[in-house]
Amino acid sequence: MDEMICVGVLGGAFGVNGEVRLKSYTADPEAIADYAPLTSEDGSRSFDIQITRPLKGGFAARLSNVRTKEEADALKGLQLFAPRDRLPDLQDDEFYYTDLIGLTVLDTGGAEIGKVKAVLNHGASDLLELIVPGASTTVLLPFTRAVVPTVDIASGRIIADPPEGLLE
């Protein structure tokens, strides 16, 4: 099977007629429907999507084979995946989150800071969640050009200039 990329997540039912809340992770949020059919992570479920209206933080949508509120509610939290080859090519300064996970993060002097555990976005900007050697908790690094000037996926590394005090 082609490499699968998470392009959205379902938030449960919207209304009583089988519509779902849909949060899109695509650059153009409405384009998520263009990559259908989308599947669950294990590939056991497949859905065609029709966006019915915008909502705060996402969309209301109809999924193939989902007709009732109960069926829609049962899908809450389900991540939706599309084959990578169905997604658009990226520009040089764009990345799929999945490509960043596991990369080694080095400071500008070449010392290892940690490894990327996850990429988070809570509305303001992206954050890299780092596993730092010897630390009991993870560290959140702003994923901005000023803090992360270099991402070299081919070499498996990120060069970062973390704000002072972040790693203390």
- Which domains are present in the chain? 4-86 (2.40.30.60), 97-160 (2.30.30.240)
CA-to-CA distance for 49 and 168, rounded, in angstroms? Answer: 46
Beta-sheet pairing, 38-39 with 46-47: antiparallel
β-partners of residue 118 are 129
Q: Which residue has the tokens 């901005």?
A: 144
Contact 142, 127 (CB under 8 A): yes
Give the lowest-confidence range in 48-52, 90-94, 103-107: 90-94
pTM summary value = 0.75
Contact 31, 22 (CB under 8 A): no
CA-to-CA distance for 41 and 43, rounded, in angstroms? Answer: 5
Q: How does residue 90 score in pLDDT terms, banded at 50, 70 and 90?
A: confident
| CB-based burial, 87-106: b 16+ in 10 Å, e otherwise | beeeeeeebbbebbeebebb
Nearest to 38 by CA among 64, 70, 69: 64
Q: What is residue 89's three-state secondary structure?
A: coil
Provide the pLDDT for residue 2. Answer: 62
Provide the pLDDT for residue 77. Answer: 95
Average pLDDT for 145-151: 93
Give kind and range of the element (H or E) at residue 99: helix 97-100
